[in-house]
């Protein structure tokens, strides 16, 4: 997968055609799920791909203000509950989203508003948690719907052809050495892996497109910092973080060897973080 190109071209779709994904393509997605990299490989995760009757079951359980985006299919990730299982689900879910993008299939992450009800509606017994839900299928031709956010209470769909969602830039998302210090990554050659990985981070989908994460380039490390806000709950914050880690790692580790992966731990260093900000982990370059 060319993660950089897929990550920078992907967008959420919210108007899906009544068209089934072929069995071949479903198998390709399953194969990708079985072999794709994971953030925490030891955590057991299962993937369900729901079909045509799923929207009824998911209705009022997922979506902003429980408003479900109606799609032909939904991917549901069930995970053992262990340390960092939600970040891991965000990482795997975004692997699947980019695989779908590569296959010409549209998608949209869905926030989980009522997990117990969702488990009941889907008849899911057992201890695994529903860690991620992603709507997917084919785009309804000419009906690209963009999310309009007037206020936290007023989220609506604008049917507008082709308009992409505005995203933060590298200078808005990255710092050098400590919180608030202007970054130098954007001065790199745009063909360099590190530049491309950081650009892919800026294109990551996030809850309400709030893009609350910031990253600090500290010598041979990229430190991922999450900033708590009033709208994003802990689960969505962790999914956001997992998605960012996938975009970053997907570019650097697949384009050159010698990159070493994310470590989900804090660092004993004062990055002068503001209140409400915490280190999710760091990537050793
Ligand atoms: C954790 C998470 C939860 C989301 N939940 C929803 C949702 O419930 N409904 C929806 O329409 N979009 C949802 N989205 C999609 C975001 O609104 C979308 O990624 C963001 O507006 C940026 O647009 P883009 O994906 O086109 O780049 C979610 C995204 C993430 C990462």
202: tokens are 């800026």
Measured CA to CA, the distance from residue 103 to residue 1 in angstroms comes to 11
Q: Say what the pTM is.
A: 0.95
Beta bridge partner(s), residue 277: 227
Measured CA to CA, the distance from residue 82 to residue 86 in angstroms comes to 9
> What are the φ/ψ torsions at residue 130 (nearest 5 degrees)?
-80, 110
Measured CA to CA, the distance from residue 147 to residue 143 in angstroms comes to 13
Ligand 1 atom at minimal distance to the Cα of residue 164: 26
Q: Which of 3.40.109.10, 3.20.20.70, 2.30.30.170, 3.10.180.10 is the CATH number of 170-284?
A: 3.40.109.10
Mutate to test the pocket of ligand 1, among 93, 130, 147 (most ligand atoms within 8 A of CB): 147
Place of tokens 């950089």: 4
Q: What is each CA distance from 184 to 76, 218, 282, in whole angstroms?
A: 39, 11, 18
The CATH 3.40.109.10 portion of the chain extends over: 3-146, 170-284
Thinking of the domain 3-146, which architecture would CATH place it in? 3-Layer(aba) Sandwich (3.40)
Measured from CB, residues less than 6 Å from any atom of ligand 1 are 11-12, 14, 63-64, 69, 108-111, 147, 165, 205-209, 236, 239-240, 243
Per-position pLDDT tens, the chain of length 285: 999 999 999 999 998 999 999 999 999 999 999 999 999 999 999 999 999 889 999 999 999 989 899 999 999 999 999 999 999 999 999 999 999 999 999 999 999 999 999 999 999 999 999 999 999 999 987 656 666 666 666 766 666 656 678 999 999 999 999 999 999 999 999 999 999 999 999 999 999 999 999 999 999 999 999 999 889 999 999 999 999 999 999 999 865 655 568 999 999 999 999 999 999 999 998
């Amino acid at each position: 997968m060319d993660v950089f190109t897929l990550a920078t071209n992907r967008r959420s779709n919210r108007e899906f055609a009544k068209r089934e994904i072929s069995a071949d393509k479903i198998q390709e997605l399953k194969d990708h799920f079985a072999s794709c990299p994971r953030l925490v490989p030891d955590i057991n995760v299962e993937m369900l791909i729901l079909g045509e009757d799923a929207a009824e079951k998911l209705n009022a359980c997922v979506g902003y203000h429980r408003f479900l985006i109606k799609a032909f299919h939904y991917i549901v990730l069930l995970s053992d509950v262990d340390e960092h299982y939600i970040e891991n689900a965000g990482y795997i879910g975004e692997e699947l989203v980019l695989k779908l993008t590569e296959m010409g299939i549209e998608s949209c992450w869905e926030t989980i508003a009522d997990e117990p009800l969702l488990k009941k509606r889907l008849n899911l017994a057992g201890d695994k948690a529903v860690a991620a839900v992603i709507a997917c299928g084919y785009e309804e031709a000419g009906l690209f719907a963009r999310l309009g956010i007037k206020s936290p209470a007023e989220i609506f769909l604008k049917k507008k052809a082709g308009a992409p969602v505005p995203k933060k830039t590298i200078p808005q998302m990255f710092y050098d050495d400590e919180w608030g210090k202007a970054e130098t990554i954007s001065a790199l050659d745009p063909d360099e892996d590190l530049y491309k990985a950081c650009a892919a981070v800026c294109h990551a989908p996030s809850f309400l497109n709030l893009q609350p994460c910031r990253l600090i380039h500290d010598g041979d490390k990229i430190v991922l910092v999450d900033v708590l806000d009033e709208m994003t709950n802990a689960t969505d914050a962790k999914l956001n973080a997992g998605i960012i880690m996938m975009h970053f790692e997907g570019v650097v580790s697949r384009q050159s060897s010698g990159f070493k992966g994310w470590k989900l731990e804090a660092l004993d260093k004062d990055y002068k973080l503001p209140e409400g900000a915490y280190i999710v982990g760091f990537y050793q370059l």
